[in-house]
Amino acid sequence: MPSSLRILLGLLSLWLTACPVVTEDSARSRPAYQRGPTLRYEDYVYVANIHSVQFHQLEVAESYPVLYLGRNEPLELEFDELLPEDLRESEFYVDLINCDANWNPSSLLPIEFYEGFTQDRIDLFQRSEFTKMTYVHYTYRFPQENEFFKMSGNYLLKVYRGNNPDDLVLTRRFVVVDRRIPISSKYLLGERIERERLTEFSFELTAPGLQIFNPAQDLDVRVLQNFRWDNAVRIPQPRFYGDNRYEYYIDFLKSFDSGNEFRRHLIESTRLYSESVQDIEERPQFFDVFLYPDQPRARNVFQTRRDRNGSFGIRVLEWQRPHIQADYVRNHFALEVDAPLPPDDKVFVFGRFSDWQLMPAYQMRYDSLRRRYEASFFLKQGIYDYQYVVRHGDDPWPDPRPLEGPHTESENFYSILVYHRQPGDRSDRLLGYQPLNYYE
């Protein structure tokens, strides 16, 4: 054996004995700070100092994160990292993950669904100006120039810190649409489809050029309310089909909790009081904003009002650049109730600002002396839609009915999504998308 080969084999043997074998058991035994949080395939913030996450079509701040194959219309992600002035900004990176219709990760490689680099660094950031609470505002836009998606479907945008993909910061869902399945509306009971309300609705699909043998298996039809995924409704099969046409029906009142129109909190200024603000107190490090106490609306007569269907927007009156000049203020919410709900019932302030989730930061506590539920948390200056919802025991679903009422007249935005998986595909394609009572 040549001496050079003998030396090489010796070094290889030494390297193998020096490096421990990493097994599943040894990985699980690592400390939590080394493993990092578990990736969730949903809208979620993993870090306490990340706030005001907005994910939308470019220059349309309250739009939904929808891309279309063949169009050069990027999405924009914005968020803030609350940081003292003496700390430098973080290095954040992004990654794109393809998912099936049920938001499970697919086995597709990035090269199969994206032309370009799915991993990238967030290079656009700015420090806050003229604010009591200091922060860094980050912006990321994609697809970049000369990059595009090759395949429609569900996708997850993952943001992580440094060069460690397990050091998660936030995740956001979005969809890419290839409009190959036209969706046409059918009117019921002589109603017009309008922004104000929808109670029941039928629609027809056509699938030109697609092989549909069993529509209950080959087509996956979902309906979203206000682009929420937590209460998305799947329509299992069409009512009628034939001649490559498929008619579906949904009763919105039975499928969704209509709730009530959203309440509104406007905090554009720390000097001028809006209709929702009772008092403002200045502290050395931040402002305290006290809202007028709210009342339950379960038994009230329904009153129509224009809302933003749970959305929020960043605004400030005194400055021109709200993304870096709007301040974070501590908001004090109060809901007057004569007696607390049963012990297993928890009350939350709820909306798009909470990622449509029952987050501990927005849970209310009952004050027996003041006879009301209270919660205090920081929000960036702007306009916020919100509701009071209840979690019953271990049930994870938010229930607006006890405090907001089951009013059938309330309006919401609805979207239809149609998925199809061709023979040989390893993920679901989104081939139909139709907003019902709003414009894109």
The secondary structure of 173-238 as a DSSP string is EEEEE---S-EEEE--TT----SS--SEEEEEEE-TT---S-HHHHEEEEEEETTEEEEEEEE-S-
- Per-residue pLDDT at 21: 33
- Per-residue pLDDT at 182: 94
Average pLDDT in the 61-90 region?
A: 94
d(CA 350, CA 362): 7
**Residue whose token pair is 């390893």:** 426
Residue 319's pLDDT band, with cuts at 50, 70 and 90, is very high
Q: Which two tokens stand for residue 134?
A: 């200091």
d(CA 254, CA 252): 5
Mean pLDDT is lowest, of 200-204, 301-305, 425-429, for: 301-305
Greater confidence (214 vs 141) lies with 141
Residue 195's pLDDT band, with cuts at 50, 70 and 90, is very low
d(CA 400, CA 406): 8
For residues 154-181, b (16+ Cβ closer than 10 Å) or e, as one string? bbbbbbbbeeeeebbbbbbbbbbbbbbb
Which residue type occupies 225?
Answer: Q
For the stretch 94-134, pLDDT in tens is 999 999 999 999 999 999 999 999 999 999 999 999 999 99
- Which run of H or E residues covers position 25? helix 24-28
| Residues of the chain above pLDDT 70, percent | 85
Q: Which CATH architecture has domain 38-177?
A: Sandwich (2.60)
**Contacting residues for 380 by C-beta, under 8 A, at least 6 apart:** 51, 52, 80, 314, 326, 327, 328
The pLDDT of residue 2 is above 60? no
Q: Which two tokens stand for residue 114?
A: 């994206």
The pLDDT of residue 367 is above 70? yes
Domain boundaries along the sequence of the chain: 38-177, 183-254+413-435, 263-404
The domains spanning 38-177 and 183-254+413-435 adopt the same CATH topology: yes
- Per-residue pLDDT at 22: 32
Which residue type occupies 374?
Answer: E
| Residues of the chain above pLDDT 90, percent | 71
Average pLDDT in the 352-361 region?
A: 96
- Per-residue pLDDT at 213: 87
- Domain at 183-254+413-435: CATH code: 2.60.40
The pLDDT of residue 248 is above 60? yes
